[in-house]
Amino acid sequence: MIIIDAFIKQFSKTFPNEGNLQPWEITENISKTLYQTITGLDNNYEIKGGIAVHNTATIEKGAILKAPAIICENCFIGAHAYLRGGVYIGSSTKVGPSCEIKSSILLQNISVAHFNFIGDSIIGNNVNFEAGALIANHYNEREIKTIFVLIDSITNNTGVEKFGSLVGDDSKIGANSVLSPGTILKPNTIVKRLELIEQNKNY
């Protein structure tokens, strides 16, 4: 079992009803969670059609936000970024031009450079993504699509066909690297440029 607070400090403080769930359970139901969270936001957020944007956030022209979405204080969303499927962007996080984020939670002070894809994932505080880094969320090439994760050297079946990664606090993801579906990264992990992370090669 994964305890998310061991990877992301105070995750359960931000999402008190989700802290005891597994990451793929959270991302699978992220839309419902965000709609519920939006109802408790204060008047510093402009809320329209299931999209909540803090009044200190910057959204550049051409960015597409699809409900539900929460963009917290001091965030930056670059031109032509595409946020869909339920996305939470924590305070002081920057999403660069032409990034796509789908069904994911990004905590505080994260930098997603540009031309990145993050799918069905939970990203910890102070994580940096260099340009072109991808988090894959589906095994297109495998006959068996179910995603497995490696926890304490034991392979676990998530029971889902779409899950990206759990990325711990203070990790660095190099340019044009790929995190395969089901990747679990401890805090302070460094992924080299062009590196492929594939933790469950036999499934």
Question: Would residue 138 show up in a list of annotated catalytic residues for this protein?
Answer: no
Whole-number Å distance between alpha carbons of 129 and 160? 25
Find the catalytic residue in 54, 80, 114, 138: 114
In sequence order, what are the beta bridge partners of 48? 51
Q: Which residues pair with 191 in a beta bridge?
A: 173
β-strand partners of 184: 166
CA–CA distance, 57 with 74 (Å, rounded to integer): 5
Helix then strand then coil, in percent of the chain rounded to 5, is 10, 35, 55
Say how far apart CA 103 and CA 89 lie, in whole Å: 11
The string of DSSP codes covering 126-190 is T-EE-TT-EE----TT-SS---EEEETTEEEE-S-S---EEE-TT-EE-TT-EEPTTEEE-TT-E
Whether the Cβ atoms of residue 51 and residue 34 lie closer than 8 Å to each other: no
Which residues have a catalytic role annotated?
114
